[in-house]
Amino acid sequence: MTTRASNTGIDRKRLDRREFFGRGAAAGVALALGPMLASAGEQAASTDSARASGRTIKLGLVGCGGRGSWITQFFTGHGGYTFVAVADYFQDRAEQTGAALGLDKSKCFSGLSGYKRVVESGAEAVVLETPSFFFPEHVEAAVAAGLHVYMAKPVAVDVPGTLRIGAAGQAATKKNRVLLVDYQIPTDPENSEVVKRIHEGGLGALQAVWSYGYAGGDGFNDPPLTANIESRLTGLVWVNDDALGGGYIVNFDVHIVDAVVWALGRRAVAAYGKGGRFRREPNGDSFDTNIVTYTFEDGLAWTHQSGAGPTHDWLQHAGTSGLVASIQGSKAAARLSYWDKAYLRGGPKHYGGKAVEGLYDAGARRNVATFHELIASNTCSNDTVPRAVDGTLTCILGREAARRGCFLSMNDLIKENKALAVDLRGLKA
């Protein structure tokens, strides 16, 4: 499934959502230059690790759009992987990425069932980079076939899909297979140091949490609906549709929501929200603006705000980054961020912190290296899965509370177990 995007320029301080998700527009160049894009130290370390393990892992890629084709540079540059098959809904995209990877056209599959051909291709592991609606089906098929899985976020778009991923993670562990969810913030040394100190009690009693998922621009390209959803499967259009991509709060904001869940070690138990669609001529149903207050069992409150729009005043409150969280305690305050500075100020665990550098690339590179290490060492606890499930459920809770404009408990959301349906009629099987 393609996630093609057209923007290649990047301002790391004010990267908009479309650029953030679509950095793979120049995938062919990235494939060729991958080793040079990585820092020399990290690239050499991962290559040395791959050589030391003596393991070359055969990979299949499902989803050859923007991020799918873009991320291949880190696998090919690592030294411990080789691609044996690719699939995308669009045949031309599959063949373009396959050619860049040196694959024959016979190893480039398309259509909704293309992922099955990749699973059957002799690959030992699959990289999943499709719209999130398809993840539960693809992950279950890969795990059932005994493959390792490297997947993008969010892990699903609804409650039943998210719970299926949780079950798949447990099944993978029982089969001694790795399932890794590619979140970048937890790989960052600055954010990791802050969270370590939070877990050591550096904040004291927790008082409040604020987080932001803001970006400039008018949101994703959201063209008129057509006879079937094929037109929604390209150019990140699917992020505008709750059922295909989870919606803005689930697909973009999940980065910082996941970071808060990581720092607090738990998910919210209820939420109240409001939201709406303010992008130009919206056709998808996703809200692009959400204000949600989450609550926890002990009474802790967490306010999350998100929005996409041409004005930037809100970024003055969030800092220069649109993915940031502040956690206030009785002894100190902490900040987690995707692009800017992470720190813990005050108290017994004070840490001045540093700027988070190049996380979009560096986080993926680190996760690719970790994936290889886990497979080579047969370490299959799959620790990223439970947190990814909790973070996705927290985003879904916020999305539903904002859409309904009501108070909603996590227990009621899970009990409701509402599945989001996608009409696949008219698509190439």
b/e code 239-252 from CB counts within 10 Å (16+ = b): bbbbbbbbbbbbbb
Q: Domains of the chain: which residue ranges? A: 17-184, 186-361+389-416
Query: Per DSSP, which regions of 198-338 are E strands?
Result: 206-216, 270-276, 289-295, 301-309, 323-329, 333-337
Q: What is the separation, in whole angstroms, between the first and last Cα of the chain?
A: 12
Q: Which amino acid is at 2?
A: T
According to the model, what pLDDT value does residue 287 have? 96
Using alpha carbons, list the distances in angstroms from residue 385 to 6, 307, 380, 402, 415. 31, 27, 11, 26, 21
- 357 Cβ contact partners less than 8 Å away, ≥ 6 residues apart: none
Q: How far apart are CA 117 and CA 137, in angstroms?
A: 14
Residues 328-342 pLDDT 10s? 999 999 999 998 899
Check if the beta carbon of residue 235 is closer than 8 Å to that of residue 286. no
Residue 229: what pLDDT? 97
Least confident of 7-21, 160-174, 256-270, 291-305: 7-21
DSSP 290: E
167/184 Cα distance (integer angstroms): 23
pLDDT greater than 50 at residue 6: no
Pairwise CA distance, residues 354 & 335, whole Å: 11
pLDDT at 322: 83
Residues 104-111, mean pLDDT to the nearest whole number:
98
Is the CATH number of domain 186-361+389-416 3.30.360.10? yes
Query: Hey, do 17-184 and 186-361+389-416 end up sharing a CATH topology, with the first three levels equal?
Result: no
Helix (H, G, I), strand (E, B) or coil at 365: helix
DSSP run (H or E) holding 344: strand 341-345
For residue 84, give the nearest of 10, 34, 147 by alpha carbon. 147
Which residues are paired to 62 by β-bridges?
A: 87, 128
| Continuous H helices in 282-422 | 313-318, 359-376, 384-404, 410-416
What is the CATH architecture assignment of 17-184? 3-Layer(aba) Sandwich (3.40)
For residue 237, how many other CB atoms are within 10 A of its CB?
Answer: 22
If one compares 74 and 31, the residue with the highest pLDDT of the two is 74
Strand, helix or coil for residue 22: coil
> What percentage of residues in the chain have a pLDDT greater than 90?
80
- Other Cβ atoms less than 10 A from the Cβ of 193: the count is 17
Residue 2 pLDDT class (50, 70, 90 cuts)? very low
- Distance CA(48)–CA(45), nearest Å, equals 5
> What value does the mean pLDDT of the chain take?
89
What is the DSSP code string of 43-109?
Answer: HHHHHHHHHHHT--EEEEEE--SHHHHHHHHHHHHHSSEEEEEEEESSHHHHHHHHHHTT--GGGEE
Question: What per-residue confidence (pLDDT) applies to 307?
Answer: 87
- In the prediction, which pLDDT does 340 show? 87
Q: Rounded to the nearest 5 degrees, what angle is found at the Cα of 14, between the Cα atoms of 13 and 16? A: 140
Task: Provide the token pair at 189.
Answer: 């040394």
User: pTM of this prediction?
Assistant: 0.90
CB atoms within 10 A of CB 297: 9
In tens, the pLDDT along 182-205 reads 999 999 999 999 999 999 999 999
pLDDT tens across 359-411, in order? Answer: 999 999 999 999 999 999 999 999 999 999 999 999 999 999 999 999 999 99
Pairing of strands 270-276, 289-295: antiparallel
| For residue 422, pLDDT beyond 60 | yes
| Distance from C-alpha of 173 to C-alpha of 170, rounded to nearest angstrom | 5
Residue pointed to by tokens 């994936």: 371
pLDDT value, residue 19:
56
pLDDT at 9 over 60: no
38 has a pLDDT exceeding 60? no
Q: Is the pLDDT of residue 73 over 70?
A: yes
